[in-house]
Amino acid sequence: MTTTNRINGLHGREHNVSMGTWWDKLCASDMFKYMPEDETADLRQRGAEYKSCLTSDAVSYIAPTPMSLHRLRPLSIYQDESSKWSAADVKAYRIANEITVTGRAVPKPISRLAEVDIPDHVTEGAEALDYCPLTAVQSQCWPIALAGRDLLAVIYGQSGENSRSYLIPAIVHVISQPTPQPVNGPCVLVLVPTRQSSVQVHRQVTDFEKYATVHSLCLCSGDWKERQLKRLSKASFQIWIATPSRLLSFIENGKVSLTSTCTFLVLDEVDTMLAVGFEKKLRTIASLVGPTRQTLMFTASRPTALIHIAEDLLEDYVQVGFGQSKIVENVEHFVVFCEKTEKMKRLVALLDDVVNEKDDKVIVFAGNKRSVEEIVSELRLRGRLAMSIHGTKSRLEREWALDGLRSGVASVLVMTDVMTQRVVDVGAVHCIVNYENPASGDVYASRVSYASRCQSSGSVYTFLAPDDTRNARELISYLVDAGKEVHPRLRAIAKGTPFY
């Protein structure tokens, strides 16, 4: 029987049990360790009120259902039992497996499931279903996800088949919840671009049902909506695998809700979903999940739109790259924040700092012929010999400019991206200046490659206006791709917020 209780008006099912017995069991359970202290104190206070109002004898009472239980913060299951991994071991493992990481306090990779604190039956299922031995992706992604951190995983050259990189943490997240989930919403939501992908992930979760009490539901096109809704009405499914369009249609019709139940969100093949125009739908769905969710993103490439959505949907996230990145890593990257009217003055000051000897060479990249000529004229007026290359220069003029830089006659070469389409011998250039931003990541990589050819490490300086949100987001993409830290001011500009 469901009625309203006498203490705080919460709804619950009437039970004829001892109040003291119920409360003692609750306090002895693992529920409190997954809750913030302020919410724990509130719940304990409610229990005290019950004890003061009810006798210790067997009485009928209404057990409360605190809303805090439906808005749990992401669980942290990860325990660092890989202490035998020294910093040198971790670095060597990541280099050998082409893993790059960016973020705060990134958990160490693991070599086996025994290094993380997960239930034995989950370990048994993982071993039986051939999740072991761990791949490099699982080795680094699982401890991050189990630690409750947001994650952006870029698996270069791999399209699809990412589910084994997040299903174990998702299943552990489900079975670690202290209360059953209501029937109208999931605990874990996995968004995929196609019906084929959703069916594949659903099948893998189904295979795990004999080892863990988890049930999944597939919400995608290709199946009748009425049939899917009927399944929802008959049972509770903790894991939903859905395509954005089908899920949104159910939400808009009031058939399902995500707000109070979902605490674990996965965007799988997010680059594919962005390519087919799902960005608005992804943002809408994420806004309905709630701010305390844990979010994981998996992609095979890094389009500019990906960085935009990652910056908006992820919090304090870890960026992990697997495979070969296009950006060389032996180059330092710097951002020069300045207004457009101050760029020339800042460029002159920068050249005074980095060009100290005859062998010091700098390439300054501009966006078009006019900018190139203006920069060269200004530098020459200030007594610095600079050469220029752009699209209207003849082959002989270009060779003459390159010879001037190689021989040391000129220390600065100002050019457009006309020479980035092929390898050009410019000698040991130790500094690149992006006076104007590149048009794409490939162009940025081509520019950076000039600074990677000198024996010592090179440097890249990129000029950025404080209100240039679009280029700030693209620059974050380049820096993350190179495995470099992103300055907080750059992140603030990318989000369109002031930084002081």
User: Is the predicted pLDDT of residue 75 greater than 90, yes or no?
Assistant: no
Q: How far is CA 25 from CA 19, 30, 51, 137, in A?
A: 10, 10, 14, 40
The least confident of 118-122, 177-181, 461-465 is: 177-181
Mean pLDDT value across residues 374-380: 95
- pLDDT, residue 452, reads 61
483-500: per-residue pLDDT in tens? 778 888 998 998 887 655
Q: What is the pLDDT of residues 418-443, one digit of tens each?
A: 766 554 667 678 899 999 988 776 67
pLDDT at 388 over 50: yes
Q: Show the domains of the chain with their CATH numbers.
A: 2-70 (no CATH), 87-322 (3.40.50.300), 331-494 (3.40.50.300)
| CA 311 vs CA 216, 340, 341, 481: distances in Å | 29, 25, 29, 14
Q: How far apart are the first and last CA of the chain?
A: 57
For residues 410 and 430, what is the distance between their CA atoms, to the nearest angstrom?
14
In the prediction, which pLDDT does 448 show? 82
Inform me whether the pLDDT recorded for 33 exceeds 50. no
Question: Could you read off the pLDDT of 90-148 as tens digits, one per residue?
Answer: 999 998 998 999 999 999 999 998 888 889 999 999 999 999 889 999 999 999 999 99
Tens of pLDDT, residue by residue over 470-481, are 888 888 877 876
* Residue 233 vs residues 11, 184, 237, 284, 285: alpha-carbon distances, Å: 21, 8, 10, 24, 21
Inter-CA distances, 40 with 33, 51, 86, Å: 9, 17, 37
The whole-number pLDDT of residue 424 equals 60
Residue by residue, what is the 3-state secondary structure of the chain? CEEECCCCCCEEEEEEEEHHHHHHHHHHCCCHHHCCHHHHHHHHHHHHHHHHHCCCCEEEEECCCCHHHHCCCCCCCCCCCCCCCCHHHHHHHHHHCCEEEECCCCCCCCCCHHHCCCCHHHHHHHHHCCCCCCCHHHHHHHHHHHCCCCEEEEECCCCCCCHHHCHHHHHHHHHCCCCCCCCCCCCEEEECCCHHHHHHHHHHHHHHCCCCCCCEEEECCCCCHHHHHHHHHHCCCCEEEECHHHHHHHHHCCCCCCCCCCCEEEECCHHHHHHCCCHHHHHHHHHHHCCCCEEEEEECCCCHHHHHHHHHHCCCCEEEEECCCCCCCCEEEEEEECCHHHHHHHHHHHHHHHCCCCCCCEEEECCCHHHHHHHHHHHHHCCCCEEEECCCCCHHHHHHHHHHHHHCCCCEEEECHHHCCCCCCCCCCCEEEECCCCCCHHHHHHHHHHHCCCCCCEEEEEEECCCCHHHHHHHHHHHHHCCCCCCHHHHHHHCCCCCC
pLDDT, mean of residues 3-28: 43
pLDDT single digits (tens) 244-280:
999 999 998 888 888 778 999 999 999 888 878 899 9
Task: Please give the torsion angle defined by the CA atoms of residues 52, 58, 63 and 69, in that order, rounded to the nearest 10 degrees.
Answer: 90
DSSP β-ladder status, 458-464 and 412-415: unpaired
Q: Is the pLDDT of residue 16 over 50?
A: no
Backbone torsions φ then ψ of 415, nearest 5 degrees: -155, 165
How do residues 144-168 score in pLDDT, each as one tens digit?
999 999 999 998 756 556 889 999 9
| Three state DSSP letters for 241-287 | EECHHHHHHHHHCCCCCCCCCCCEEEECCHHHHHHCCCHHHHHHHHH
Q: What pTM was computed for the model?
A: 0.57
